[in-house]
Structure 1
Amino acid sequence: MSAQLTAPQTPAAAPAAEPAGRRPRRGTFGLASKALVNGLLAISAVYTLAPLAWLLIASSKNRKDLFSTSPYSVGEFHLLRNLSDLFGYDDGIYLRWLGNTVLYTVGGAFLTTVISVACGYAFDKYVFKGKEKLFGLVLVGILVPSTVLSLPLYLLASRTGLVNTYWAVLIPSLVNPFGVYLARVFSAGYVPGEVLEAARMDGCGEVRTFARVSLPMLAPGFVTIFLFSFTAAWNNFYSSLMMLNDQNLYPVNLGLYAWSQNTHQQPELYSLVIVGSLVAVVPLIVAFLCLQRFWRSGLTSGAVK
């Protein structure tokens, strides 16, 4: 007959007694802070969405309802007719403005992003004489307002014969000091030096290393800089106003401004300006919704052997 041994059971530790005079914490402060934060977020959302809501409602009205009804009241639905009038006015000049804007923004932003990423990568990964001083000049360029450079750029474009051409708007937009700064920050955080050394040991040249190894790892930074450049180019009004005189070269914002200046002589342009503003906002919203998932995505998986 075998004896079964059982381990002695130890009594459970008693809960520590709370110090005398201390009351249990209540969640009042936490609830108040959450309510305050949610309230501020709600106010910010209303402040941001109210103009867009007015723009959408006003775009669906005809010219009579636009001035005879309250701003946020919905009248008869005329959005499709307003869009037809917009795209058919003056032989479809608005469509030409949209095409010019796509050229200035998508093409210009892509070239600007490639140049900025290459420069930021070079500032981060290479050692050359005067690197920090040159980068300091780039940082100084961030502090200079773009409006200060408009007159010198116009004089340079006038000397070279580029005024009233596509190049007068495209070439100045290729220089983006803030994009170079962001590219250097992303290069330092996303591209390890060990990966570059491994690529060089495998026989990759510097250009191929940048294009095949570093650039895919910099994809989140590339998209971020592209979105900043895209938005800046889409909203670039003053430079286009200085450089362009031919309405066939206008971007959307400058064309809508020209229409708004003639609304006193041509009241029918009121509806066209509002509907055109709505159409001009849609590409920005679509670009951010489609590309926002790349902002924080890490694409470095599998880069290190």
Structure 2
Amino acid sequence: MTALATEAPVDDRRGRQPHRRSRPRAAWLPTAVLLIGAVYCLLPVAWVVAASTKSGSSLFTTFTFAPGGDFFANVAELSSYSGGIYWKWMLNTLLYAGVGGLLSAFVSGLSGYTLAKFRFAGRNVIFNVLLAGVLVPGVTLAIPQYLLLAKVGLTDTYWAVLLPNILSPYGIYLARIYAAAAVPDTVVEAARTDGASEFRIFGRVALPMMLPGLVTVFLFQFVAIWNNFLLPFVMLSDDNKFPVTVGLFTLLNQGQTLPALYSVVITGVLLSIVPLIALFLTLQRYWRLDLVSGAVKG
């Protein structure tokens, strides 16, 4: 009996290198655009850092990014200018941005939670009006806000800068979206079944769940108030109540007659960026915590 030996089919893939999909040649284009954008944004910051280390005389003689040795002298001159009023401006800015940001985050959280979890007549109309408010530039509201506050005698006070910044349409919009996604309806209904009041549900149940989103609202509003120029420029006339943006603007105007003040102004600009960087580095852990908790829930 003749046995027919059947050979196993030869696998053509044996010994063949795995086919690697060639990377599109245009894949480098988005990376290049991002790098150009990063350089465009960081180049002025690098120049401010370098210019703050130079004296007023050397600032205009050489335009290089090489650091000088006059940074601490510039800081000392800035601190001694007009009795150290620069640090008064910084404290004012911290008051405006800190208190305004916290109040805005709380109002945004309460309003966003209400719009997300309650059904009432006119809810969609209110939300659409808020969306329209996001599209209105804040510059157009400065003069009407000044006229309104002038009627009640609040111009040239701290309230003139704080009150207009408490209500943020964009913050309410973000809080509404975040509350709808982060606070389950079943948890709210369970708390109501246990007899908890609505304010207790918001403070004890919803607010901790919304904390990462409210941190984002606080950061956006803090940065917006910190960098705001037109509103305090219109509302305030006492330089002891100026924020750092308006204060440095007054110094810059004086630099037209005293060019040595330009290096002082640049040093003040650099120091005014430091609190923003520290705030971002401090609060970024809330975003990480939110991402981790989301991954665990998934």
TM value normalised by structure 2: 0.89
For the pair 1:270 / 2:265, whether they are aligned, the reply is no
The one of 120, 130, 133 aligned to 1:141 = 133
1:292 — aligned with what?
A: 284
Residue in 1 that maps onto 2:50: 57
| Alpha-carbon distance between aligned partners in 2 of 1:268 and 1:16, rounded to the nearest angstrom | 75
Residues 105-144 of structure 1: matches in 2 within 5 Å? 105-144=97-136
Conservation of the 8 A alpha-carbon contact between 2:78 and 2:264: yes
Aligned residue pair count: 284
Q: Structure 2 residue aligned with 1:74, among 63, 67, 71?
A: 67
5+ residue gaps, structure 2, are: 1-6
Read off the aligned partner of 1:265 and give its amino acid letter.
T
Displaced runs of 4+ in structure 1, greater than 6 A?
none
- Shift in alpha-carbon separation, 1:192–1:61, aligned structure 2, 3 A: same
Q: How far off is 1:117 after superposition?
A: 0.7
- Within 2, Cα distance between the matches of 1:12 and 1:171? 81
Q: Which runs of 5+ in 1 are unaligned?
A: 1-9, 18-23
- 1:74: how far off? 2.8
Alignment of 1:40-51 (within 5 A): 40-51=33-44
1:157 & 1:270 partners in 2: Cα distance? 34
Tell me what 2:4 maps to: none
Partner of 1:38: 31
Give the 3-state SS of the residue equivalent to 1:104 in structure 2.
helix
Q: Which residue identity is paired with 1:42? A: L
Q: Distance in 2 between matches of 1:15 and 1:130?
A: 69
Cα distance in structure 2, aligned partners of 1:226 and 1:28: 42
User: Are 1:92 and 2:84 matched, yes or no?
Assistant: yes
Cα RMSD, aligned residues only: 2.2
Cα deviation for residue 235 of structure 1 reads 1.1
Q: Conserved in 1, the CA contact under 8 Å of 2:156 and 2:237?
A: yes
Among candidates 176, 192, 202, match of residue 200 of structure 1: 192
- CA shift, 1:227, in A, is 0.7
Does residue 149 of structure 2 align to residue 157 of structure 1?
Answer: yes
- Partner of residue 275, structure 2: 283
**Deviation string, structure 1 residues 96-121 (Cα, Å, up to 9, x no partner):** 00010001001101001100110000
Counting aligned pairs with the same residue, the percent is: 43
| Inter-CA distance 64–33: structure 2 relative to 1 (3 Å threshold) | same
* 2:57/2:260 contact within 8 Å kept: no
CA gap of 1:139–1:37, structure 2 versus 1, over 3 A, is closer
1:194-224, Cα deviation, whole Å (9 max, x unpaired): 1112222233221111111111110110111
- More deviation in 177-186 or 199-208? 199-208
**C-alpha contact (below 8 Å) 1:220/1:296 kept by paired residues:** no
Deviations 1:137-174 (A, max 9, x none): 11121121111111111111111101100000100001
